[in-house]
Amino acid sequence: MKQILVLNSGSSSIKYELFDMDAAGALESGLVERIGEGESRLKQTLPASTPKSPSQSRSIEVSVPDHRQGMDLIRRALSENASFAGGQYLVGIGHRAVHGGETFSGPTLIDDHLIRTMEELVPLAPLHHPANLIGMEVARSAFPEVPQVAVFDTAYHQTLPPHAYRYAVPQTWYQRYGMRRYGFHGTSHAYVAKQVARHLGRPLAELNTIVFHLGNGASATAIRGGVSVDTSMGLTPLEGLVMGTRCGDLDPAILIHMGKESGMSVDQMDGVLNMQSGLKGLCGANDMREVLSMESNGDQAAALAVEMFVYRIKKYLGAYHAVLGRLDAVAFTAGIGEHSPQIRARSCSDLETLGIAIDPVLNTAVEPPICEIQTSDSRVKVLVVSTDEEFEIAEQTLACVQS
Ligand code: ADP
């Protein structure tokens, strides 16, 4: 048996998931949250032993002052799981890492050189990289004998051509400061594109797909033959679609103007555009379920927020259709993409001339993990796919440690 442990270290939490790679299934998942905040907690979930039995969860309150002790707690929790068998089958640990800059275009073994390079990239991801680095450090000391791999959210998009990744600003901004499109949600887009090809029984290399990852953060990617050729997030995850609390596309002059007129500092504007904008800025709620229910109760601001959300998706759908030329499939994934028939239907309304039409009955009867929802005469397949970023990280980690 080969097992891979996937870790996602944030500033106050460590999420983990243990996979049996031969069975392609999870053996345990959990998280330590509120690290260093006084009331820390370990949540642990063991999957159902049979398809009909429920999964088992437990939550224990425990003091976890720092990530090192958080990692110790995870190691102890795992060692209580008989399937873990003292770690004898653990062949690799995969770490979710946010920003690989131009240096990392695939999963990479973690060594001192990688850590130093990631430290140099901290200015590109000042909130995420320090937390990712702490996670790597504590996992390396907790499991010194196990190879560890960094899987970057940006890596999948390193195939973008220059005309898609450069911004039309002076060359020196790119050369000296790295100002270019990097794109994010790469593991999700890569996973979904593969699932679509597998489901349709077509080689990935022949399929042109647009993937919409619509969670609290949201992004679209144009994928030609399995390769990302354009994506909506940019230097940071702020660009592109309207999101829960992020603005998405914006005229950059708004920042200049607001800086002059409102007296807001750069940091304050950063906070507003990342945390107080998007659906939340438009109608006061960032959770799409709440926004949709406000809309159905007659809230005009919520109605406008949803209209802007789906309109932006439709604009990217049209743009990426043109980028790809021939379009075979559109896939919706993540919280909103997987669970909201309404958002899928409204994003794809009146697109028959592009060969895209959703069947209203299929759209409301979606069965995970993957399902087609187009009408019988829609030229383009439309699919709803359950994303599994952790499993994709596990697969990439296994491939990296075996190579
Ligand atoms: P994250 O980006 O935090 O991982 P998720 O992928 O879990 O987010 O997506 C969260 C979003 O999915 C929230 O806006 C939530 O309201 C939305 N969502 C979840 N279920 C539904 C549903 N049934 N209908 C509409 N939106 C939903």
CATH class in words for 201-389: alpha beta
The residues annotated with a catalytic role in the active site are 153
Alpha-carbon span 150 to 62, nearest angstrom: 29
Was domain 3-152 assigned CATH 3.30.420.40?
yes
Which residues face 31 on adjacent strands?
Answer: 15, 43
Q: What is the pLDDT of residue 87?
A: 93
Asked whether this chain's domains 3-152 and 201-389 adopt the same fold, the reply is yes
Q: What is the pLDDT of residue 54?
A: 80
Closest listed residue to residue 347, CA positions, set 317, 327, 376: 317
DSSP 55: P
Alpha-carbon span 233 to 240, nearest angstrom: 5
Closest listed residue to residue 200, CA positions, set 320, 327, 328, 332: 328
Tokens encoding 82: 């008989």
- C-alpha 336 to ligand 1 mean position (Å): 5
Closest listed residue to residue 383, CA positions, set 349, 353, 358, 354: 358
Pocket residues: Cβ below 6 A from ligand 1: 215-217, 244, 287-289, 292, 334-336, 339-340
Burial state string for 269-279 with b = 16 or more CB within 10 A and e = fewer than 16? eeebbbeebbb
Rounded to the nearest 10°, the torsion over CA 14, 20, 24, 28 is: -40
Q: What is the pLDDT of residue 39?
A: 84
Every domain of the chain and the residues it spans: 3-152, 201-389
Q: What is the pLDDT of residue 76?
A: 93
- C-alpha 384 to ligand 1 mean position (Å): 14
Q: What is the pLDDT of residue 174?
A: 98
Q: What is the pLDDT of residue 104?
A: 97
- C-alpha 34 to ligand 1 mean position (Å): 22
Site to probe by mutation for ligand 1, drawn from 128, 287, 309, 336 as the one with most ligand atoms within 8 Å of Cβ, is 336
Q: What is the pLDDT of residue 47?
A: 83
Which parts of the chain sit beneath pLDDT 50? none
Query: Residue type at 292?
Result: L
Q: What is the pLDDT of residue 386?
A: 98
Nearest-atom index, ligand 1, CA of 218: 2
- C-alpha 97 to ligand 1 mean position (Å): 22
Q: What is the pLDDT of residue 37?
A: 87
E strand residue ranges, 85-215: 90-97, 108-109, 148-152, 208-214
